[in-house]
Amino acid sequence: MRHALILAGGSGTRLWPYSTAGLPKQLVPLFEGRSLLDLAVDRASAVADEVWLGAGEQLRDAVSSVEGLRADRLILEPSGRDTLPAVALGCATILETDPDAVVAVLTADHLIEPVDAFAASLSAGCDLAEASDDVLVTFGVVPDFPSTGFGYLELGEPLAGAARVVSRFLEKPDLATATAFLAGGPEHYLWNSGMFVWRAATLLAAVEAFEPETARLVRDVVDGRTGSWDVIEKKSVDVGVMEPASTSRDFRVAALPMSARWLDVGSWPAYGDAVGRDDSGNAIAGRAVVTGSSGCVVASNEPDHLVALVGCEGLVVVHTPEATLVMPADQAQRVKDLHALVQQQAPDFA
């Protein structure tokens, strides 16, 4: 059976003040009253027989009401330990219900369109995982600019269909390196989407091979010894499993290019791109009047409050009933640092 495990544990601090500790960005209704998690469940349901959600215990109430998710399909983590423990716990839990489970690990903070193109890529990944018990599939995105904010996949020899062997995982590069990757073309380099497909048993065998202590502690948690969770080392699944698997004789790492528009809604300018910009490059979400301005992002979730801009260039203005954020768009990555200060100086608004 085909399962989808949606990871919804991110904090989304770069989308503060919309995204807060109690309602992180994947749960905020950013798109015509629907959240990124709502959209992720819709996409997963197009391919998977069962949809599961991995999230932090503190979000139990918030995620329990998401349409399309069954209460017994929530996998709650006592605390955030990064993606490797989350994925291992999810696959171990799913394996108990289905010993032949093929699991697609999906994110809850991306905008991916159209759904049918994404579903076709996901189905091809499931086919590849079902055909072999040693393959770990990752999805790559064709770069359209030299991003320094994404990891990259370096591609090797062809596999079945459009799949290619991943010869290297490359961390976020500097601009010169990213430019060289873009020039190399998608036959050599893809962005790492952070989404995967594998047999649950194969992933757990890889965790056992490369991170045996994590494998042991996750088994303890599944068996009810929850105190083991907080001593698990924080580590990403890319670093803990995918990178060593790509050079191992016991596993093959395959990349499939994703035939869909993929946008990581990880900053306010990215959100502006997602909602769409006018001829002057302005993106407006909410009640606002903008004139004589260009390259701005304006977002407000308070319908009785008007945001007005005149003669502005390259600004982000975000208004909620609790807080207002104003900054140059090119400083958007600093919101994470700002949020840390808010936690210290005004924790009620974090």
Listed by start position, the domains of the chain span: 2-264, 268-349
Residue (of 294, 261, 300, 262) closest to 278 by Cα position: 294
User: Per-residue pLDDT averaged across 205-211, rounded?
Assistant: 98
User: Per-residue pLDDT averaged across 186-212, rounded?
Assistant: 96
d(CA 234, CA 205): 19
Amino acid at 108: A
User: Per-residue pLDDT averaged across 122-140, rounded?
Assistant: 95
Q: Which residues contact 338 (CB under 8 A, 6 or more apart)?
A: 16, 325
pLDDT value of position 58: 84
Read out DSSP for 60-116?
Answer: HHHHHT-TT--GGGEEEESS---HHHHHHHHHHHHHHH-TT-EEEEEESSEEEE-HH
Q: Tell me the pLDDT of the chain averaged across its residues.
A: 93
In tens, the pLDDT along 61-71 reads: 888 878 888 88
What pLDDT band is residue 226 in, cutting at 50, 70 and 90?
A: confident
pLDDT value of position 37: 93
pTM: 0.90
Cross-strand bridge partners of residue 263: 111
What pLDDT band is residue 330 in, cutting at 50, 70 and 90?
A: very high
pLDDT value of position 296: 98
Q: Which residues contact 306 (CB under 8 A, 6 or more apart)?
A: 287, 288, 289
Rounded to the nearest 10 degrees, the angle between the axes of helix 212-222 and helix 83-97 is 50
d(CA 30, CA 26): 9
Classified by CATH at the fold level, domain 2-264 comes out as: Spore Coat Polysaccharide Biosynthesis Protein SpsA; Chain A (3.90.550)
In tens, the pLDDT along 263-319 reads: 888 899 999 999 999 999 999 999 999 999 999 999 999 999 999 999 999 999 999
With H, G, I as helix, E, B as strand and everything else as coil, classify residue 42: helix
Give, in order, the Cα–Cα distances in Å from 26 to each of 46, 50, 242.
19, 20, 25
User: Per-residue pLDDT averaged across 228-247, rounded?
Assistant: 95
Name the more confident of 331 and 260.
331
What pLDDT band is residue 176 in, cutting at 50, 70 and 90?
A: very high
pLDDT value of position 71: 86
